[in-house]
Amino acid sequence: MSTADNNKRTELGALGEFGIIDRIAENFKTHKQASTALGIGDDAALIDCGDFYQVISTDMLVEGIHFDLSYMPLQHLGFKSVSVNISDIAAMNAIPKQITVNVALSNRFSVEAVDAIYDGIQKACDTFGVDLVGGDTTSSPGGLMISITAIGTAEKDTVVKRSGASSGDIICATGDLGAAYIGLQVLMREKAEFKANPNMQPKLEQYDYVVGRQLRPMARMDVIHELGKLGVVPTAMMDISDGLASELMHISKQSNVGVNVFEDKLPIHQITYENAVEFQLDPVIAAMNGGEDYELLFCIKQDDYEKIKNLPDVHTIGYIQDLEKGRNLVSKQGNVYPLKAQGFTHM
């Protein structure tokens, strides 16, 4: 790359995940293809196919970084790796159609293990109505990696980017937040306890909900279909993979607007509350800065509020305001806290 200086070494951690992506994007300014309608920077890329857009997104899951096989069943891993990609297609208000799957396997894994992963991939393909149309299989020196590309289609007049929000829009979040992060804490504690005492019987029943949210996230295509039926096109949308605060920052930056969200409006499941308290974790921090909920964050025009207000799984959490008014979380007591770009970064 033209900016590389052979004598200089900058640690990856100095830039972080988003900094690295920005740097890559800045160094690739040229667009050679007229059909490249939207490139790096949204949940998925858009390719102009004349009457419609083709929507493409890719995500990689790496053992030891994104999952730990001591608590992640292989079927669930297969399902999750598809679901997180479908979630990015949903975030464009698009319909997923095909996936390709790349796997890197070491000789630690058996044929049966590969069958189990693909069993989960098959379940996800059935759930989301997509076809597996290709991929690549290679060896790895140790860990397991799965990289999936999802391909979908979007109508040109209903595709939704991160950049379309404007002052006065209502901010909505689907489902509930923070559970996947609390589920991860449960699983990590169980792993540590099992290491200390391999004879122990794990007692996970009271954590079924949060553990399920961590192991088996469900992309919210159901909400996309509901919005479609109601004729509601969000002004901006993305999926919540890195925690609500980080995603609000993305919408704010890319739409050039401020945000105001209310702590008492955050959708947090009662069980998440109870489990978080037991782990001495703050459920609001789990919702704002945890990760992997794979819910949708979107903005709508005020005029559309009547249409969505009865959807049980869509919650209004705040509103878009002018950029000068800032990006704020308003606490239950009415205190205003500026949002921090504290993403869920693996680096």
Angle at 33 between CA 27 and CA 35, to 5 degrees: 120
Residue (of 148, 143, 66) closest to 109 by Cα position:
143
Using rule CB under 6 A, residue 43 touches ligand ADP:
yes
Q: What is the C-alpha to C-alpha distance for residues 120 and 237, in angstroms, rounded to an integer?
A: 27
- Count other Cβ atoms within 10 Å, centred on residue 15: 14
Q: Is 47 helix (H, G, I), strand (E, B) or coil?
A: strand
Structure tokens at 199: 């004879």
Contact code string over 8-27 relative to ligand ADP, x by CB under 6 A: -------------x--x---
Provide, rounded to whole angstroms, the least separation between the CB of residue 241 and ligand ADP: 5
The distance from CA 83 to its chain's CA centroid, rounded to whole angstroms, is: 10
- Contacts of Mg ion in 234-273 (CB under 5 A): 239
Using rule CB under 6 A, residue 41 touches ligand ADP:
yes
Using rule CB under 6 A, residue 241 touches ligand ADP:
yes
Closer residue to ligand ADP in complex, CB, 40/188: 40
Report whether 162 belongs to an annotated binding site: yes
The one of ligand ADP, Mg ion, none whose footprint includes residue 143, by CB under 5 to 8 A per kind, is none
Report whether 344 belongs to an annotated binding site: yes
Q: How far is CA 35 from CA 51, 99, 165, 180, in A?
A: 12, 21, 24, 37
The one of ligand ADP, Mg ion, none whose footprint includes residue 169, by CB under 5 to 8 A per kind, is none
DSSP 260-312: EEEGGGS---HHHHHHHHHTT--HHHHHHH-----EEEEEE-GGGHHHHTT-T
Report whether 235 belongs to an annotated binding site: no
Strands in 295-300's sheet, in edge-to-edge order, are 236-240, 295-300, 170-174, 314-321, 258-262, 327-330, 336-338
Using rule CB under 6 A, residue 293 touches ligand ADP:
no
Provide, rounded to whole angstroms, the least separation between the CB of residue 242 and Mg ion: 8
Residue, CB closest to Mg ion: 43
Using rule CB under 6 A, residue 65 touches ligand ADP:
no
Using rule CB under 6 A, residue 40 touches ligand ADP:
yes
Structure tokens at 168: 């006065």
Closer residue to ligand ADP in complex, CB, 147/185: 147
The one of Mg ion, ligand ADP, none whose footprint includes residue 40, by CB under 5 to 8 A per kind, is ligand ADP
Contact code string over 86-115 relative to ligand ADP, x by CB under 6 A: --x---------------------------
Provide, rounded to whole angstroms, the least separation between the CB of residue 8 and Mg ion: 32
Span interacting with Mg ion, options 17-25, 28-36, 86-94, 324-332, rule CB under 5 A: 86-94
As beta bridge partners, residue 299 has 171, 236
Asked if residues 245 and 298 have their Cβ atoms less than 8 Å apart, the reply is no
Contact code string over 190-229 relative to ligand ADP, x by CB under 6 A: ----------------------------------------
Q: What is the C-alpha to C-alpha distance for residues 219 and 225, in angstroms, rounded to an integer?
A: 12
Span interacting with ligand ADP, options 38-46, 144-152, 275-283, 307-315, rule CB under 6 A: 38-46
DSSP state of 309: T
Report whether 242 belongs to an annotated binding site: yes
Q: What is the C-alpha to C-alpha distance for residues 187 and 249, in angstroms, rounded to an integer?
A: 29
Q: In the set 15, 16, 19, 59, which binds ligand ADP (CB under 6 A)?
A: 59
Q: What is the C-alpha to C-alpha distance for residues 260 and 264, in angstroms, rounded to an integer?
A: 12
Residue (of 238, 90, 86, 219) closest to 162 by Cα position:
238
Percent helix, strand and coil across the chain, each rounded to 5? 40, 25, 35
Binding site for Mg ion (CB under 5 A): 43, 88, 239
Binding site for ligand ADP (CB under 6 A): 21, 24, 40-43, 59, 88, 241
Q: Which parts are annotated binding residues for substrate?
A: 66, 292, 344
Q: Which parts are annotated binding residues?
A: 43, 57-59, 66, 88, 118, 135-136, 162, 239, 241-242, 292, 344
